[in-house]
Chains A and B, each alone.
Chain A
Amino acid sequence: MSVIADPVETDAVIIGAGPVGLFAVFELGLLDLKCHLIDILDRAGGQCAELYPEKPIYDIPAWPEISGQGLTDRLMEQIKPFDPEFHFNRMVTAVDKLEDGSFLVTTDENEVIKAKVVVIAAGGGSFQPKRPPVPGIEAFEDKSVFYSVRRMEEFRDHDILIVGGGDSALDWTLSLQPIAKSLTLLHRRDAFRGAPDSVNKMKALVEEGKINLQLGQVTGLNGADGLVESASVKTKEGDEIEVKCSRVLPFFGLTMKLGPIADWGLNLNENLLPVDTEKFATSEPGIFAIGDINTYPGKLKLILSGFHEAALMAHAAKKYIAPDERIVFQYTTSSTSLQKKLGV
């Protein structure tokens, strides 16, 4: 690994910007600890924002009903006074401990943040693209089958097959069409989940004869040495056809995978991080785990449990950073010093 001269420095790095990671900013902030949050998603909210933004949650104390996105928005508002820094579209790949007990946290974009403590609030793991159920697809991955577009140039002059009916499928259909040799959009049905405006633009391209829209499902990929030549498709009408393609982009949503956390030398129990229920500390002093990613006797994977864990963890983190400082227990209602921090 190359040595990076001046990593950004902060008090706490929180891995995962789900509801629990977000609330940890509040609890750490009350103890004067500044936070950076890193998430592989492009926005905050974790499962609440990605899996069920519009669905109601009924067991958040004092909120008889609130949507996944509503809860996320409220948390963002609540932590605003602490001015957390967000690093989105980044996966944390490594956490290394330094001799002085602090940590270097590295992302897949090779950014490095130096932190006094690390809080893992990684939920069910990082959100990653789902592999579509096509036999043998693994052999083509990263050679001619891609789950995201890192560089558009790699698709220039190719016969592109895009599979899916959501925003990613539609957006990339619109963006790649001008540089593609040919482009086929394959979807199971003629209704699309994506934004109506994108759907209209896509349909206009179909009418102009610039892209092909095929209704059906991929049943297999054909080619050699990782280079796809065609896809076998079962059409909506039940016919088997071949679609010529040299690049395939399947968009089948996201799923959660533990990911690199498994490689950080922490004790794991069935893909979860065992912690104590006083400090929520992992097996490595200075690294804490809260929310869905941790486990302990009686653990409930509920948002409200994660909030409680965040409060206790924050006090333990403060003690790790400043062992000799006395922490005065205070209420936000009555403490003028806490209110000053909150800007109220």
Chain B
Amino acid sequence: MAKITYIAHDGSQFEVEADNGSTVMENAIKNAVPGIEAECGGACACATCHVYVDDAWVEKTGAAEAMEEDMLDFAYDVQPNSRLSCQIKVRDELDGLVVKVPERQA
């Protein structure tokens, strides 16, 4: 289990208890976090689940793999801490994770 905080673009915050093995995207969808669309359902094929990982967590969430980097090419305003949330799997070490939702998805 891990607590994840989503900060929507308007600043509103959503705190969610997430099961290990689920993805950061799935928990956002389940809890109706605004601004995460996830059109492809987590297949790393749409780039509409883009988030910014809070700087304090960048190291723990790790770097995007090649396929995810390719998909990030289609996202809006990609920054060094950009990730596709369907590619971040929840585990105990991510307890407390904070991610920001971008202004728009592609």
Contacts and interface: CB of A to CB of B under 8 A. Distances in A.
Contacts of A188: 72-73, 78
Interface string A165-198: 1100000000000000000000111010100000
Interface residues of B, number: 15
A130 B77 CA distance: 15
B70 interface: yes
B14 interface: no
B74 A130 contact: yes
A253 B73 CA distance: 9
A264 interface: no
A133 B43 contact: no
B94 interface: no
Contacts of A164: 73
Nearest to A134: B76
A133 B40 contact: no
Contact of B45 (A55, A130, A193, A252): A55
**Chain A contact residues: helix, strand, loop or mixed:** loop
A188 B73 CA distance: 7
Contact of B74 (A52, A189, A191, A252): A252
Interface in A201-232: 217
B32 interface: no
21 contacts: A51-B40, A52-B43, A52-B45, A55-B45, A130-B74, A133-B77, A133-B106, A165-B70, A165-B73, A166-B73, A188-B72, A188-B73, A189-B73, A191-B66, A193-B70, A193-B73, A217-B78, A252-B74, A252-B106, A253-B73, A253-B74
B54 interface: no
A217 B69 contact: no
A217 to B, nearest CB: 7
B45 A51 contact: yes
B35 to A, nearest CB: 13
A217 B46 CA distance: 19
A166 B72 CA distance: 12
B3 interface: no
B104 interface: yes
Contacts of A130: 74, 106
A312 B49 CA distance: 37
A271 to B, nearest CB: 14
B104 A133 contact: yes
Contacts of B104: 133
Contacts of B46: 51
Interface in A37-64: 51-52, 55
A314 to B, nearest CB: 29
A55 B43 contact: yes
Nearest to A191: B69
Interface string A272-314: 0000000000000000000000000000000000000000000
A55 B43 CA distance: 8
A127 B66 CA distance: 24
B44 to A, nearest CB: 8
